């Protein structure tokens, strides 16, 4: 399978969402429509040179038409790419990688869905919500969405439109941390305590859900997972995607790691298989990850966040031992099957082979 490629796309529309966020639509020429087909919940990686730096960021696809894909971008303080993106206008061109990501829904069955989102974590959820409401006429969705104030709610008009159109099947709760609402249970942060309270009040029914999606900061995801496990919800129906407010990796403890007992002295010979070609690079595990070493050697590996969150750099360990510093995106089964994140991978044996073409 060919590695994901960047394509130069033109901005077709810019839609302000809040004072600090915009939705940007990219036009898809006929010849790229097939390559940019996506599953609800997937994201696009955008790439640009900003202040002389090669910057990449991933943004979830929140809306689409045959010849357009839209992403939502929230500006963050000192955020290189998000600030640059606020200045894009119709006709600007941006390098855009074909859709990626495993935080997806298989739309087509009749289900009860619960989505818990905070801030810009709404973007993949919105794509899932739209697809389910359009393609599963008997499915029901509950969305609990946390923000600071009503004015910072991204896609508020889109959410309201969907709610008006699907009153019987789409239930929305806005949880606001810095603005008082009449119903006290909707005030505060969307965290473990709040989820427990909403469940006790009967506003959520986690036991009846076929699928639960969590999308937001790490603390919210960890707390939600703990509360859901405490309520007896099977981990198998819970999916999560980490969203930071900064778009940068969080300094935090690893969620999951593979372990090796020893690091090879003097570096490892790492062979990288990409698009059917093999290239070799020396990686000193004590100093750098495979991605860092490969970039230093001039290899153009697929990556975006460089923080273990997006899985754009996912590849398979074909030979040797490796460990990961951080992993916020690979599921247990992927790790058991030998997949790793190149941006977090350090060799643990003298020879390692990583295959980016492995599906
Ligand atoms: S580049 Fe995002 S997980 Fe490695």
**CATH code of domain 6-97:** 2.40.30.10
Instruction: Measure the CA angle with vertex 300, ends 295 and 302; round to 5°.
Output: 100
Average pLDDT over residues 86-114: 87
**303 C-beta closer than 6 A to ligand 1:** yes
Domain layout of the chain by residue ranges: 6-97, 112-242, 268-355
Ligand 1 close to Cβ of residue 309 (< 6 A):
yes
Nearest Cα to 217, choosing from 250, 239, 187, 194? Answer: 250
User: What is the structure's pLDDT at 169?
Assistant: 96
Q: Whose CA is nearest to atom 3 of ligand 1?
A: 308
pLDDT above 80 for 255: no
Atom of ligand 1 nearest to the CA of 344: 4
- The verdict on the CB of residue 341 being under 6 Å from ligand 1 is yes
Topology of domain 112-242, CATH: Rossmann fold (3.40.50)
Q: What is the mean pLDDT of residues 70-82?
A: 87
Structure confidence by residue, pLDDT tens digits, 20-41: 899 999 999 999 999 999 988 9
The predicted structure's pLDDT at residue 245: 44
Task: Give, in order, the Cα–Cα distances in Å from 215 to each of 120, 284, 320.
Answer: 9, 35, 34
Longest Cα pair distance anywhere in the chain, in angstroms?
Answer: 64
Per-residue pLDDT, 189: 97
Reading phi first (left if > 0) and then psi (alpha if -120 to 50, else beta), residue 168 is in alpha
Ligand 1 in reach of 343 Cβ (< 6 A): yes
Mutate to test the pocket of ligand 1, among 312, 322, 354, 356 (most ligand atoms within 8 A of CB): 312
160: left (phi over 0), alpha (psi -120 to 50) or beta: alpha
Assess if CATH 3.30.530.20 describes domain 268-355: no
Q: Which ligand 1 atom is at minimum distance from the Cα of 304? A: 1
- List the structure tokens of 71: 């992403």
User: How far, in Å, from the CA of 42 to the mean position of ligand 1?
Assistant: 14
**What would the mean pLDDT of 85-110 be, rounded to a whole number?**
87
pTM above 0.95, yes or no: no
Q: Is the confidence at residue 253, as pLDDT, over 50? A: no
DSSP 117: E
Q: Which helix (H) or strand (E) holds 229?
A: helix 218-230
User: Dihedrals φ, ψ of 11, to 5°?
Assistant: -70, 125
Indicate whether residue 329 lines ligand 1 (CB < 6 A): yes
Query: Per-residue pLDDT tens for 141-175?
Result: 999 999 999 999 999 999 999 999 999 999 999 99
In which band, very low, low, confident or very high, does the pLDDT at 273 lie, cut at 50, 70 and 90?
Answer: very high
Distance between CA atoms of residues 222 and 164, nearest Å: 32
What is the DSSP secondary structure assignment for residue 99, as one 8-state letter? P
Whether the pLDDT of residue 130 is over 70: the answer is yes
Alpha-carbon distance values, 182 to 146, 179, 235, 325 (Å): 16, 10, 34, 45
248, pLDDT greater than 60: no
């Amino acid at each position: 399978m060919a590695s994901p490629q960047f394509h130069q796309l033109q901005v077709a529309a810019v839609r302000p969402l809040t004072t600090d966020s915009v939705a940007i639509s990219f036009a898809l020429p006929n010849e790229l429509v097939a390559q940019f087909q996506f599953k609800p919940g997937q994201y696009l990686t955008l790439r640009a040179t900003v202040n002389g730096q090669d910057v990449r960021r991933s943004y979830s696809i929140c809306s689409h038409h045959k010849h357009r894909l839209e992403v939502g971008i929230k500006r963050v303080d000192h955020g290189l790419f998000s600030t640059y993106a606020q200045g894009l206008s119709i006709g600007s061109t941006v390098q855009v990688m074909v859709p990626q990501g495993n935080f997806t829904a298989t739309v087509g069955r009749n289900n009860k869905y619960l989505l818990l989102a905070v801030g810009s974590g709404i973007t993949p959820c919105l794509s899932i919500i739209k697809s389910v409401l359009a393609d599963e006429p008997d499915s029901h969705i509950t969305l609990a969405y946390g923000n600071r104030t009503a004015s910072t709610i991204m896609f508020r008009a889109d959410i309201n439109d969907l709610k008006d159109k699907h009153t019987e099947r789409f239930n929305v709760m806005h949880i606001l941390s810095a603005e008082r609402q009449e119903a006290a249970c909707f005030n505060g942060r969307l965290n473990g305590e709040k989820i427990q309270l909403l469940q006790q009040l009967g506003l959520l029914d986690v036991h009846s859900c076929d699928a639960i999606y969590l999308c937001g900061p790490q603390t919210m995801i960890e707390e939600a997972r703990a509360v859901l496990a405490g309520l007896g919800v099977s981990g198998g129906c819970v999916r999560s995607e980490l969203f930071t407010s900064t778009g940068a990796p969080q300094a935090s403890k690893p969620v999951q790691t593979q372990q090796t007992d020893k690091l090879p002295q003097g570096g490892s010979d790492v062979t990288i298989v990409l698009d059917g070609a093999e290239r070799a690079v020396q990686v000193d595990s004590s100093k750098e990850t495979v991605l860092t070493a490969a970039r230093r050697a001039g290899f153009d590996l697929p990556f975006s966040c460089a923080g273990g969150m997006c899985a754009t750099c996912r590849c398979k360990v074909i030979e040797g031992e490796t460990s990961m510093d951080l992993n916020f995106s690979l599921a247990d089964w992927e790790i058991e099957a030998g997949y790793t994140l190149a941006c977090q991978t350090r060799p643990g044996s003298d020879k390692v082979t990583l295959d980016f073409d492995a599906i």
